[in-house]
Amino acid sequence: MVNSVGKPLDRVDGRLKVTGRALYAAEHQVPDAVSAVLVMSTIPKGRIAKVETTQAEQAPGVLAIMTPFNTPKLPSPPPGSEKNRSTSRKLNLFQDDQVLYSNQPIAVAIADTLEHATHAAELVRVQYRAEPFNVVLENGLAQAYNPEEVGGAGDPADSSRGDLKSGTAQATARAQHIYITPIETHNPMEPHATVAAWEGQKLTLYDATQGVFSDRERVAGVLGLHPDDVHVVSPFLGGGFGSKGPTWSHVVLCAMAARRVNRPVRLVMRREQMFGSIGFRGRTYQTLELAAKADGTLTAVRHDTVDQTSSFDQFAESCSLQARMLYESPNVSTTHRLVRLDMGTPSFMRAPGEAPGNYALESAMDELSYELKMDPLALRLKNYTEKDPEKNKPWSSKSLRECYRQGAERFGWERRNPAVRSSRDGHWLIGQGMATACYPTRRSESSAIAKLRKDGSALVEAGTQDIGTGTYTIMTQIAADAIGMTPNQVTFRLGDTEFPETPVSGGSQTAASTGSAVKLAGQALREKLVQMAINDAASPLHNLGANDVSIDSGYFVSQSDPAKRESLAAFMARQGVSEIEAKGSAKPGEEKKDYSMYAFGAAFVEVRVDADLGEVRVNRMVGSFAAGKILNAKTARSQLIGGMVWGIGMALTEATVVDPNRGRVVNANLAEYHVPVNRDSPVIDIITVPEDDPHVNEIGAKGIGEIGITGTTAAIANAIYHATGKRIRELPITPDKLL
């Protein structure tokens, strides 16, 4: 039996993508569909005094202009009606005249064509009664409040073990600094888009969403529909990175617009509209204090995070969580506080909490290593945790030591001269830095169905999403192995609420959650088929023992007598049914109580910094990760490379800049919001350390979508310090900060 899981199978949807036949949300052709274009607020706070729509309404092709003054009141959803609270952001659905942030949707122009709707949106005139506002985190530090809970698992905002004071008193070296990370905007290549079509009280949404079921539930809740009356379809996504996790206002507005004009409506957000209204990573202000004995043993760790939320909703960037578990220290104190700003609500963005938090913690560890005159990697090994020191539980598995070893060896870490500013190539200063990577392992309840078809091939379905990560491919591989087929005998379908229920594709949990369900469904189908073959008098396998019969590459085979075999297609021809199906579902179990579960890794980076101009180039990076079973060597490598490229963006280029005087984003476009491009990324060497974890889930996979960004950002900042002797504690590290 040849197993497919683990192999570098090409993306099964690759051909559809490169030939343009993969349909993204806005590309679904719905007969009679018209276009809607959002009008966004241009002030951060106040009231809408008047919306002048006469001119817009008279423009060619216009069907309607929706405003807060002509939009019907929505029913109030019964409290507790939504399961997925973590993905329920408060929405702006034209129910009042309040402006709560700049770039808030405040009107929708609906017309026969996109051009006409765009033109009409330009003609909508809004008069405001502006009110005083604050968009600067640092101005609100004194008003910061305790959010009580943070992060995907609802961890307490604050933690404390031991006694910080006595810990610092024992220390011979200390590092205490403030690290600041800017607002970042996701910028998936595919803009947020929705096509909404009503049939009576039934609504179909072709939506760019990371969670078809949570989307369905949220839209149904807000519009007062039964979830069964909402059908969400999302077969392809051009990136999401968390921004398409929650359902945002434009999705519901699109459905409301379709109801208003009694036609299907297509709504695509423009790039600049995506700065503030669909979530972003909030600005963080983090205080790190580390103290250690002369041999590097940590005696105290303090991590206090302040970040921003909106005036009307709450989201916390859970930066201080890693400080609780990443290193051994008897004395640890962590806090999270939030400042309400007159901006949109921040949200999940690739490794929410972990990415900026890890930057601060791993920068501080680097600073401490220089205080101690100790190798940065040796300092981390000195404080290695053999169990989770906060939860006092064993790790389900941890191969970080091996990640450090293999990463350091590949990178050539031992050849590094520890002195700062010790290496130079012409006007380039060369430096090397490293950092630990870490991301929690999560799963949620998920289900799947596997069907054997007449021709002997399998159709496997689960609601889930492929956000560009490779879900189609790995699920095909898992199903093929579980049933006993080759991947080309299996078709996997996803992205549809008609399929079995699955969780949101966030928190790096899709492979673990839905992969487990697909495996169980595939195994259930195989067992059912084997039993049917044994009972089938016409089968060569008739009356053999169940343990003697297996399915291999689409054939029933007897183990004891390999001459006894029959293809699944030949078997199906006698069954008189079009399909034979079996279901599987998987959910978190006891492992959550018994183990602390994380993926770990390490990033090693070499940079060169122009001594005269402050320009930073990343020369090379090695990322070494252990994340349980690697389901597809090629898509896994791509995910980890993608995560590390995000680390380059966070370290060097990305920042959403808000004008403090006008409360508006000034770089709401891809020309001035600098996502790293190919030219910014060196060859990235990815090592996946083999790791067998029997505890995390049925397939032993930990999830790899987010861990790549952690570690990388700090490793780059640490390499810049090593190259230049300049410690930059506010991201991104742009040339002006190095001059």
Interacting residues with ligand MOS between 207 and 236 (CB under 6 A): 210
Residues 444-483 as x/- pattern, contact with ligand MOS by CB under 6 A: ----------------------------------------
User: Pairing relation of β-strands 458-461 and 490-493?
Assistant: parallel
Residue nearest to ligand MOS (CB): 242
Residue found by looking up tokens 């609270």 in the block: 85
- Alpha carbons 230 and 214: distance in angstroms, whole number: 11
- Alpha carbons 262 and 565: distance in angstroms, whole number: 58
Beta-carbon contacts of 100 under 8 Å, excluding residues fewer than 6 positions away, are 45, 92, 310, 311, 312, 342, 344
- Tell me how far the alpha carbon of residue 446 is from its chain's centroid: 18
H/E element holding 620? strand 616-626
Residue from the set 105, 506, 647, 708 that interacts with ligand MOS by CB under 6 A: 506
DSSP state of 76: P
Q: Given the rule CB under 6 A, which of 74-82, 238-246, 264-272, 494-502 is the region that contacts ligand MOS?
A: 238-246
Half-sphere exposure of 596 (CA within 13 A, CB side): 19
Beta-carbon contacts of 121 under 8 Å, excluding residues fewer than 6 positions away, are 37, 38, 39, 56, 107, 108, 109
Residue from the set 463, 507, 642, 647 that interacts with ligand MOS by CB under 6 A: 507
| Structure-block tokens of residue 520 | 């169980």
Q: Given the rule CB under 6 A, which of 69-77, 271-279, 346-354, 715-723 is the region that contacts ligand MOS?
A: 346-354
DSSP state of 663: -
Residues 79-118 as x/- pattern, contact with ligand MOS by CB under 6 A: ----------------------------------------
Q: Nearest approach, Cβ of 678 to ligand MOS (angstroms)?
A: 23
Residues 295/307, Cβ–Cβ less than 8 Å: no
Residues 183-212 as x/- pattern, contact with ligand MOS by CB under 6 A: ---------------------------x--
Residue from the set 352, 433, 495, 649 that interacts with ligand MOS by CB under 6 A: 352
Q: Is 349 in the site for ligand MOS (CB under 6 A)?
A: yes
Residues 696-725 as x/- pattern, contact with ligand MOS by CB under 6 A: ------------------------------
Q: Enumerate helices (H) and strands (E) in the chain, giving the number of each.
A: 17, 31
**Closer by beta carbon to ligand MOS, 245 or else 470:** 245
- Alpha carbons 662 and 664: distance in angstroms, whole number: 6
CA geometry: angle at 283 spanning 278 and 288, to 5°? Answer: 145
**Closer by beta carbon to ligand MOS, 331 or else 347:** 347
Q: Nearest approach, Cβ of 464 to ligand MOS (angstroms)?
A: 13
CB atoms within 10 A of CB 700: 22
Size of the site for ligand MOS (CB under 6 A): 11
Q: Nearest approach, Cβ of 252 to ligand MOS (angstroms)?
A: 20
Residue from the set 94, 133, 213, 348 that interacts with ligand MOS by CB under 6 A: 348
Beta-carbon contacts of 99 under 8 Å, excluding residues fewer than 6 positions away, are 41, 43, 44, 45, 46, 47, 48, 106, 128
Q: Given the rule CB under 6 A, which of 240-248, 324-332, 580-588, 606-614 is the region that contacts ligand MOS?
A: 240-248
Q: Nearest approach, Cβ of 92 to ligand MOS (angstroms)?
A: 22
- Alpha carbons 632 and 496: distance in angstroms, whole number: 24
Interacting residues with ligand MOS between 407 and 446 (CB under 6 A): none
Q: Nearest approach, Cβ of 238 to ligand MOS (angstroms)?
A: 14
Q: Which of 198, 298, 310, 192 is nearest to 255 (CA)?
A: 198
Residue from the set 151, 242, 515, 700 that interacts with ligand MOS by CB under 6 A: 242
SS3 label, residue 266: strand
Q: Given the rule CB under 6 A, which of 5-13, 237-245, 390-398, 475-483 is the region that contacts ligand MOS?
A: 237-245
SS3 label, residue 703: coil
**Closer by beta carbon to ligand MOS, 646 or else 673:** 646
Q: Given the rule CB under 6 A, which of 254-262, 349-357, 631-639, 682-690 is the region that contacts ligand MOS?
A: 349-357
Q: Given the rule CB under 6 A, which of 249-257, 342-350, 407-415, 559-567 is the region that contacts ligand MOS?
A: 342-350
| 57: annotated active-site residue | no
Interacting residues with ligand MOS between 510 and 539 (CB under 6 A): none
SS3 label, residue 684: strand
Question: What's at 710, amino acid-wise?
Answer: T
Report the Cα–Cα distance between both ends of the chain, in Å, rounded: 61
**Closer by beta carbon to ligand MOS, 281 or else 664:** 281
Distances, alpha carbon 413 to alpha carbons 375, 620, 626, in Å: 10, 12, 19
Q: Is 327 in the site for ligand MOS (CB under 6 A)?
A: no
Q: Given the rule CB under 6 A, which of 82-90, 130-138, 348-356, 373-381 is the region that contacts ligand MOS?
A: 348-356
Q: Is 599 in the site for ligand MOS (CB under 6 A)?
A: no
- Catalytic site residue from 57, 289, 706, 730: 706
- Alpha carbons 717 and 56: distance in angstroms, whole number: 50
| Structure-block tokens of residue 667 | 């770089």
- Alpha carbons 205 and 254: distance in angstroms, whole number: 9
User: Reduced to 3 DSSP states, what percent helix, strand and coil does the chain have, rounded to the nearest 5?
Assistant: 30, 25, 45
**Closer by beta carbon to ligand MOS, 241 or else 492:** 241
Q: Given the rule CB under 6 A, which residues bind ligand MOS?
A: 210, 240-242, 245, 348-350, 352, 506-507
Catalytic residues: 706
